[in-house]
Amino acid sequence: MQTQGTIHRWNTEKGFGFIQNAQTNDVFFHIRDFRGPGTPTVGMQVVYEEIHVGSKGPRAMAVQVKQTMASPSTPPKHTSTNNTAPRRANAPRRTNAPQQRTFKAAPAGAAFAKGLMLAWLCLLVWGVLSDKLPGMALIAIAGLNLLTYFAYWNDKNAAQANLWRTPESTLHLLALLGGWPAAWWAQQSLRHKSSKQEFRQIYWLTIALNCASLVALALQQG
> Whole-model pTM?
0.50
Identify the pLDDT of residue 106. 57
- 217 or 187, higher pLDDT: 187
Give the pLDDT confidence of 187-212 residue by residue, as tens digits: 999 988 888 899 999 999 999 999 99
Give the pLDDT confidence of 86-140 residue by residue, as tens digits: 555 555 555 554 444 444 445 667 888 899 999 999 988 988 888 888 889 899 9
Mean pLDDT of all residues in 135-154: 93
Query: Is the pLDDT at 165 greater than 80, yes or no?
Result: yes
CATH number of 2-65: 2.40.50.140
Nearest to 157 by CA among 182, 190, 183, 187: 190
Query: Is the pLDDT at 173 greater than 50, yes or no?
Result: yes
Nearest to 166 by CA among 184, 151, 148, 180: 151
The domain limits of the chain are 2-65, 107-219
Q: HSE, CB side, 13 Å, CA atoms: give it for residue 180.
A: 27
Query: Is the pLDDT at 12 greater than 90, yes or no?
Result: no
Region of 162 (left: φ > 0; alpha: ψ -120 to 50; beta: rest) is left
Identify the pLDDT of residue 128. 87
| Lowest mean pLDDT across 20-24, 51-55, 62-66, 218-222 | 218-222
Q: HSE, CB side, 13 Å, CA atoms: give it for residue 185.
A: 12
Distances (CA, A) of 165 to 154, 172, 181: 8, 14, 21
Burial class (CB within 10 angstroms; exposed 0-12, middle 13-18, buried 19+) of 218: middle
Identify the pLDDT of residue 169. 93
Give the pLDDT confidence of 25-78 residue by residue, as tens digits: 778 888 888 877 778 888 888 887 887 766 677 787 778 788 764 444 455 555
